[in-house]
Amino acid sequence: MTDNTPNRGDFTFMQLADPQLGMFAKISDRSPEDVAAMRTRFSRMPYHGVDIRPVRPITGFAPETGLFTEAVQTANQLRPAFVVVCGDIVYDWDDDPQANEARRIGGLLDEGIDLHWVAGNHDVGADDGHR
């Protein structure tokens, strides 16, 4: 701030990203060929320590629900002025249960903490040619 800028006080905010409800189910139960291809693709990217391993099939979005709920509970403990959830919020842009679950979890944020959503490519269907 400059000397002539009024001080509006200190505040904190919390930024969350990629809850991506539905992703675990979509990427689970890959064939050995798919796992090998993912390993190759990720080895070319600047991801250090990423270990791609096959996992059993997952249905629904319980793992993501747990992680996103834990993040909201942490926000409730920290009491920031606001929380920004950056996309991807869901994995499939047209999956109503995923969107409804995201809204439900967002609703767990304590009153007085503002919530702002920022859509990602999965939230608007950009990967499917939707704009």
pLDDT given at position 130: 47
User: If phi over 0 gives left and psi between -120 and 50 gives alpha, with beta otherwise, what is residue 22?
Assistant: left
Buried b / exposed e over 94-114, threshold 16 CB at 10 Å, is eeeebbebbeebbeebeeebe
- Looking at residue 69, its pLDDT comes to 98
Domains of the chain: which residue ranges?
Answer: 1-22+60-131, 28-58
pLDDT at 73: 99
With a cut of 70, which residues of the chain have pLDDT below it?
A: 1-8, 126-131
What tokens appear for 71 in the block? 């993040």
Phi/psi of residue 44, nearest 5 degrees: -90, -5
pLDDT value of position 6: 62
Cβ–Cβ under 8 Å, residues 80 and 47: no
Over residues 50-77, the pLDDT tens digits come to: 778 888 899 999 999 999 999 999 999 9
| Number of Cβ within a 10 Å radius of residue 88 | 22
Q: Does domain 1-22+60-131 have CATH number 3.60.21.10?
A: yes
